[in-house]
């Protein structure tokens, strides 16, 4: 079946599918129709601390033995494919990554072990979401012949389009938990981040909010821990990236914090 027809059919069915299990089946079948053997869809959040917690949603059709082996050896923390996914918004072919010749021994072992379990060739599609998550779609195959690999490579852009629509459908139906729900900064913590993003020191922020410098520093440290960062600069960058605060031009703002609520306590 011609690729464009496959894509059109997939997109039509996608709009009428509402259950996560059915979406999983639909996407996996589409990937198989393109000529691949396996599909994987993973939502990863950069806000979570442990590799296991970072995987917020996993729909995997990889061989069970390979999945068990992958998790047992903690390959997630060393998988170059995930590094590439955070660096790029374009799909990439595994062979192209390996051909660069800069893989560490640990990274190369992941590809070698995957081949042992029949996962020889793959294309990965990174999708960067609005809430800081990265959707990571992989279509893989046991392909070893160059002509088969070349045929699969021609489906890269079709897979990219389908993966983007699939991810948006998953988001639309509410199957992705917003990582900010775990962070859940308080109003006062937002105040402190906001003024920090505008270049205010802890003392200056305390004067604006009517609280002590120590209290401001306590709120800042709490937010840094929630965001899993080591300094104020990283905290501000991540808070802005995830829309926790929206910094404004200091020359046009007034001295009343935009998050302050009338009548609340200063704690």
Per-residue pLDDT reduced to its tens digit, 193-233: 989 988 899 999 999 999 999 999 999 999 998 888 889 98
Q: Looking at residue 32, which CATH number applies to its domain?
A: 3.30.450.80
Burial class (CB in 10 A: 0-12, 13-18, 19+), 205: buried
Helix, strand, or coil here: 256?
Answer: coil
Average pLDDT, the chain: 84
> Of 37, 6, 43, which Cα lies nearest the Cα of 170?
43
- The last residue of a domain, from among 140, 172, 204: 172
- pLDDT over 70 percentage in the chain: 83
The tally of domains found in the chain comes to 2
CA separation for the pair 94, 74 (Å, rounded):
19
- Residue 10 is predicted with a pLDDT of 97
Q: Which H, E and C letters describe 46-76, residue by residue?
A: CCCCCHHHHEEEEEECCCHHHHHHHHHCCHH
Domain span at 11 = 3-172
Beta-bridged to residue 39, according to DSSP, are 139
79 in a domain, yes or no? yes
> Are residues 35 and 164 both part of a single domain?
yes
- Residue 249 is predicted with a pLDDT of 39
Q: Looking at residue 263, which CATH number applies to its domain?
A: 1.10.10.10
Question: Residue 56: pLDDT band by 50, 70, 90 thresholds?
Answer: low
Question: Residue 262: pLDDT band by 50, 70, 90 thresholds?
Answer: very low
Question: Residue 5: pLDDT band by 50, 70, 90 thresholds?
Answer: very high
pLDDT at residue 53 is higher than 70: no
pTM equals 0.70
The token pair that represents 229 in the structure block: 């960062």
> Are residues 202 and 150 both part of a single domain?
no
> Of 182, 200, 183, which Cα lies nearest the Cα of 191?
200
Yes or no: say if 43 and 135 are a contact pair by the CB < 8 Å rule: yes
């Amino acid at each position: 079946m011609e690729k464009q027809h496959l894509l059109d059919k997939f997109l039509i069915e996608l709009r009428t599918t509402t259950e996560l299990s059915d979406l999983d089946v639909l996407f996996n079948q589409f990937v198989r129709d393109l000529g691949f053997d396996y599909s994987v869809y993973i939502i990863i959040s950069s806000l979570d601390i442990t590799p296991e917690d970072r995987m917020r949603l996993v729909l995997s059709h990889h061989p069970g033995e390979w999945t068990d082996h992958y998790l047992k050896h903690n390959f997630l923390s060393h998988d170059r494919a995930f590094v590439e996914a955070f660096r790029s918004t374009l799909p990439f072919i595994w062979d192209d990554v390996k051909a660069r010749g800069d893989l560490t021994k640990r990274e190369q072992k992941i590809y070698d072990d995957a081949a042992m379990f029949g996962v020889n060739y793959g294309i990965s599609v990174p999708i960067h979401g609005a809430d800081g998550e990265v959707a990571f779609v992989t279509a893989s195959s046991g392909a070893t012949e160059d002509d088969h690999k070349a045929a699969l490579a021609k489906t890269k852009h079709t897979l990219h389009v389908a993966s983007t629509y699939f991810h948006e459908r998953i988001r639309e139906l509410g199957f992705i938990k917003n990582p900010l729900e775990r962070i859940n900064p308080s109003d006062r913590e937002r105040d402190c981040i906001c003024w920090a993003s505008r270049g205010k020191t802890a003392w200056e922020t305390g004067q604006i909010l009517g609280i002590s410098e120590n209290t401001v520093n306590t709120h800042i440290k709490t937010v840094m821990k929630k965001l899993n960062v080591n300094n104020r600069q990283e905290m501000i960058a991540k808070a802005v990236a995830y829309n926790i605060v929206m910094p404004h031009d200091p020359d046009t703002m007034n001295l009343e914090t935009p998050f302050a609520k009338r009548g609340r306590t200063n704690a």
